Amino acid sequence: MERLLVLVRHGQSEWNLKNLFTGWKDPDLTELGVSEAKAAGVKLRDMKLQFDMAYTSVLTRAQHTLALMLAELGQEDLETVRDQALNERDYGDITGMDKDEARAKFGDEQVHIWRRSFDIPPPGGESLKMTAERVLPYYRAEILPRVLEGKRIIVAAHGNSLRSLIMDLEKLTPDEIVARELATGAPLVYRLDEDGNVVSVEDLAD
């Protein structure tokens, strides 16, 4: 039985390009982001992968990325579940703020703590720990059981919602996961055993 789980961070968004804290705001992909998403689909097609089901967030940049990948795979009509449990981390009061402006206002060290600590949230927002506390129960209840029954699943989501999943899958420490960089539009191909443990992982980043 093939227990396949593919995770993909959305392609570059308009706010990624502008260096803004995006969180739950809903910008679309840039031209580069569209190209990244299409390229991700081509990589999966070259591996001759097909999917039984897809999951994504309620945010446009993830949904658009998924749609572009599925078009390359010839699976435009794939059953897809959209849920805010897979949304990006909420950046609260600094959402929409330029990252350089935030450093000027709050100081480099404070902004670094908000961005890269595991359990310290920005004002009014979520830490990575809090993000994981909504992502992982959803994964364990909705996604993992389908993978374990042999369905091939693709998830298009966001840097921090995917970090939550990767931390759990790869059994990483908080320090290890906050240091983990995820390229936009780069699929991670996991194969799991009957208990949901990772047998192999392939990073399709260039």
pLDDT score of 137 more than 80: yes
- Reference 87, options 58, 63, 114, 116; nearest CA is 58
pLDDT at 1: 84
In angstroms, rounded to a whole number, what is the distance separating the alpha carbons of residues 164 and 181? Answer: 12
Catalytic residue (one of 64, 88, 126, 158): 88
Q: Report pTM.
A: 0.96
CATH code: domain 7-148+161-189 is 3.40.50.1240
Judge whether 64 counts as a catalytic residue.
Answer: no
206 pLDDT above the threshold of 80: no
Question: Does the active-site annotation cover 10?
Answer: yes
- What was the pLDDT predicted at 95? 96
Q: Which of 94, 92, 160, 97 is CA-nearest to residue 126?
A: 92
> Which residue among 10, 36, 72, 126 is the active-site one?
10
What is the reported pLDDT for 139? 98
What confidence tier does 47 reach under pLDDT thresholds 50, 70, 90?
very high
Domain boundaries, the chain: 7-148+161-189
Of all residues in the chain, what percent carry a pLDDT higher than 70? Answer: 100
What is the largest distance, in Å, between two alpha-carbon atoms of the chain? 54
